[in-house]
Structure 1
Amino acid sequence: MQEAELAQGLAAAGLTYLGMVEPSAPLIPPRLAAFANSAAAEGEEWAASVESDAPDFQERFNHEWYMLAADQGLFSREDPQFLFASAEPESGHGASWWARVALRAEWDLAGAGAAAQVTGCGWGHPEFVMLSLDGNVIVRGSQGEKWTDVVCLRNPHRIRSLREMGARMTDSGSIPRETREAIARWLAHAAPDER
């Protein structure tokens, strides 16, 4: 995906593309952050669920996402910037990394963004991973069979199950080298007792 295509897709969701984060930044990689909805969160988890077939699904999901994301620190209401997992523009290996984005006044993750295949896989089917600028809050949107969830994890560096999964991933030959290296950087940088 080219950078212009990424910016256009994000715009459909109501997100302004501000550039890719430097790959050497010691942030949790999107591939590991995507496990936010299945990690044993040790009291660091908040969630909201919306029935996937609700007639007002789009509005309810968008509302739940915004309230959870703003209340738990994905972004501040005054300056709604955060990181969004996306394929790295102009990379041939299709690895995902963090794009810095700003939430526009008009946005729609569950409808237009999902239909544009940016925040989901079709209108009403949101699927995404987001991270706060400081790396301390993960928000994951994921659709199940009957419910669509928005899960927020705070302080992922303190969540033992996530760190253990990351350690296993660094030893897996099936994980791209760039992702293994990024996980190792995050594990080394974000020791559980540092923050």
Structure 2
Amino acid sequence: MLDVIDPLLHEKANADWYRLAVEGGLFSEADRRFLLAHSPVEGGPSRWCCVELQDDWDIMGKGAAGLLGSAPLCPEFRMLSLDGNVLCFATTWQHSISTSVLTAPHRSRVLRRFAEWVAQGALDRPNEPPLSTAVRRWLDASSG
């Protein structure tokens, strides 16, 4: 966690995110593509979009001011490796920024319980493709 009053917060937050992303396996130096959870409608369901980290990236600054948060240095995002084995997420607390990486999310009992609940249709909405179908596919593919 990084303290929001640190004068080097922007640089440290970007460096920490990148280090965690590469070390955790979100993407590699050679292939910087990953999936980003994006909600096209505020409050609506998220969809995974394939993105590629560009050379002039600024995840915690300009990125957090747009698609990846609510303002510069206020990140709120979820990222997934292309193979689904690494989940990276960030959030902003009252006095800090937290970035975390979870490897093998399919092995997390908490995530699997949540996925089972979603697979039962708990988050399906009328007039939208059902989330339950995709989640059931994920559960079936990652069992065992």
TM-score (normalised: structure 1): 0.66
Contact 2:105/2:111, CA 8 A, preserved across alignment = yes
> Is the partner of 1:121 in helix, strand or coil?
strand
Matched, 1:188 2:137: no
Give the drift of 1:97: 1.1
Contact 1:157/1:163, CA 8 A, preserved across alignment = yes
Q: Which residue of 2 aligns with 1:61?
A: 13
**Alignment length (residue pairs):** 139
Give the drift of 1:169: 2.8
Give the drift of 1:53: 2.5
Q: Which residue of 2 aligns with 1:85?
A: 37
Measured in 1, the distance between the counterparts of 2:132 and 2:6 equals 39
Q: Which residue of 2 aligns with 1:147?
A: 96
What amino acid maps onto 1:106 in structure 2? Answer: D
Contact 1:52/1:143, CA 8 A, preserved across alignment = no
Q: Which residue of 1 aligns with 2:83?
A: 134
> Is the partner of 1:77 in helix, strand or coil?
coil
Q: String of CA shifts for 1:119-139, please: whole Å, max 9, x gaps.
A: 111111011000001000000
1:169-188 correspondence to structure 2 within 5 Å? 169-171=118-120, 173=122, 175-177=123-125, 178-188=130-140
Give the drift of 1:172: 5.5
Q: Could you tell me which of 39, 59, 64 is aligned with 1:109?
A: 59
Q: Could you tell me which of 16, 19, 23 is aligned with 1:71?
A: 23
- Which stretches of structure 1, 4 residues or more, deviate above 4 A after TM superposition? none
RMSD: 1.8
What amino acid maps onto 1:153 in structure 2? Answer: L
Q: Which runs of 5+ in 2 are unaligned?
A: none
TM-score (normalised: structure 2): 0.88
What amino acid maps onto 2:54 in structure 1? Answer: R
Contact 1:52/1:148, CA 8 A, preserved across alignment = yes
Measured in 2, the distance between the counterparts of 1:83 and 1:95 equals 15
Measured in 1, the distance between the counterparts of 2:68 and 2:28 equals 20
Q: Which runs of 5+ in 1 are unaligned?
A: 1-48
Give the drift of 1:146: 1.7
Give the drift of 1:182: 1.8
What amino acid maps onto 2:58 in structure 1? Answer: D
> Is the partner of 1:95 in helix, strand or coil?
coil
Name the structure, 1 or 2, with higher relative contact order (CA <8 Å, separation 6+). 1
Measured in 2, the distance between the counterparts of 1:70 and 1:143 equals 21
